[in-house]
Amino acid sequence: MTASTIVASLLAVAVAALISALVTWISRPLLQRYALARPNARSSHRIPTPQGAGIAVIAATLVVALALAAWADIAITPALVIATVVIALVGFADDIVSLPVLVRLVLQAACVGAVVFTAPDDARIVQALPLTLERGLIVIAGIWFVNLVNFMDGLDLMTVAEVVPVTAALGLLGWWGDLPSSAALLATALCGAMLGFAPFNKPVAKVFLGDVGSLPIGLLVGWCLLELAWHGQPAAALLLPAYYLADATITLLRRIARREQFWSAHRSHYYQRATDHGFTVPRVTGEVFAINLVLAALALLTVRAGSVTITLIALVAAAVAVTFVLLRFSRPQAS
């Protein structure tokens, strides 16, 4: 990574944080009026709270990343930018009028597919697979990742506790030359935007991201992780979001096994069960933040060590650590 790119990344964090905080503060009265999330049996909040601050986060991320990319002569693929805007609009519409599940999935698939299938043919993870098959599997995984970020955005500061460690680690990997500059710049801009949003989302939250924020955040983070895997680091790309992947995927499989309507809103995620079991919201998000710092450290270790043995040890350590947290969340706290 060049010196100008490092400067661009540092500027991205600071400027995106400022813009995100400012736009969130300005837009909050409008969101209070037109996009109010009212509590229900599946909610974690107890008072009506405006949602839709993801507009500020995504706007700050894209504006800062594109401006600094132009300054540092870094190319950001137009398909990703367009898909991010479209999927944010889908989320915004769903925040206001609640779109049918099939409509949401089709539009999400179109956005993820546009990003994946416009990538260069030499961007590969498993060379032995036919290109079309690999890209199809990546699209399915991308749709799931976009939705799991949305599913996991159900607690104050929860998405901040996930996205900040992941994007900060991606920024470091960009500095070290293990991640393309475009992905590193987007990651650091998103990191800054989430930091700017955090003061408004700390317990008790004054505003939520909404689908307009969680869905495109899932797309952007997923794309950065995909770029990391394409550049020879699939283990690190798996380690960074391992807690979110485990919580959301295990919960989905459990709901399918029980023949529940797995596409409907619920309170079955481990982090949600934790609050039902006596954990406070700050404690849950604090432990999620801590496990994500551990996962980020393991991911960075695998990249820098370049050793198959260390990578396997890191994967096992991550599995043990994530399992420990999930088990803690699934058990009632002693009174």
Q: Rounded to the nearest 10 degrees, what angle do helices 158-175 and 211-230 cross at?
A: 30
- What number of residues does the chain have? 335
Most confident of 19-23, 89-93, 119-123, 330-334: 19-23
Q: What is the dihedral of CA 160, 163, 165, 167, to 10 degrees?
A: -140
Give per-residue pLDDT as tens, 53-102.
999 999 999 999 999 999 888 899 999 999 999 999 999 998 888 888 88
pLDDT at 213 (0 to 100): 95
pLDDT at 97 (0 to 100): 82
**Residue 310 maps to a domain:** no
Structural domain tally of the chain?
1
Question: What would the 3-class secondary structure string for 288-306 be?
Answer: HHHHHHHHHHHHHHHHHHC
Is the pLDDT at 40 greater than 70, yes or no? no
Give the span between the Cα atoms of 20 and 16, in whole angstroms: 6
Give the largest CA-CA distance in the chain. 58
Least confident interval from 53-62, 92-101, 298-307, 320-329:
92-101
Please name the amino acid found at residue 37. A
3-state helix, strand, coil in the chain (%, to 5): 75, 0, 25
DSSP string, 111-172: HHHHHHHTS-TT--S-TTS-HHHHHHHHHHHHHHHHHHHHHH--STTHHHHHHHHHHHHHHH
Q: What is the dihedral of CA 243, 248, 252, 258, to 10 degrees?
A: 70
Instruction: Please indicate whether residue 323 or residue 44 has the higher confidence score (pLDDT).
Output: 323
Question: What would the 3-class secondary structure string for 197-239 be?
Answer: HHHHHCCCCCCECCHHHHHHHHHHHHHHHHHHHHCCCHHHHHH
**Residue 308 maps to a domain:** no
**Residue 318 maps to a domain:** no
**Residue 40 maps to a domain:** yes
Task: Give yes or no for a contact between 251 and 307, defined as CB atoms under 8 angstroms apart.
Answer: no
To the nearest whole number, what is the mean pLDDT of the chain? 91
Give the span between the Cα atoms of 293 and 289, in whole angstroms: 6
Give per-residue pLDDT as tens, 94-153.
888 888 888 999 999 999 999 999 999 999 999 999 999 999 999 999 999 999 999 999
pLDDT at 77 (0 to 100): 92
Task: Give yes or no for a contact between 72 and 192, defined as CB atoms under 8 angstroms apart.
Answer: no
Element (H, E) at 75: none
Compute CA 327 distance to the chain's CA centroid, rounded to the nearest angstrom.
Answer: 23
Give per-residue pLDDT as tens, 196-235.
999 999 988 899 999 999 999 999 999 999 999 999 999 9
Instruction: Please indicate whether residue 281 or residue 2 has the higher confidence score (pLDDT).
Output: 281
**Residue 321 maps to a domain:** no
Give the span between the Cα atoms of 291 and 29, in whole angstroms: 35
pLDDT at 44 (0 to 100): 59
Categorize the per-residue pLDDT at 182 as very low, low, confident or very high, splitting at 50, 70 and 90.
Answer: very high
**Residue 12 maps to a domain:** yes
**Residue 276 maps to a domain:** no
Question: pTM score > 0.95 for this model?
Answer: no
**Residue 223 maps to a domain:** yes
Q: Rounded to the nearest 10 degrees, what angle do helices 3-34 and 181-201 cross at?
A: 40
> Structural domain of residue 187, as residue ranges?
3-234
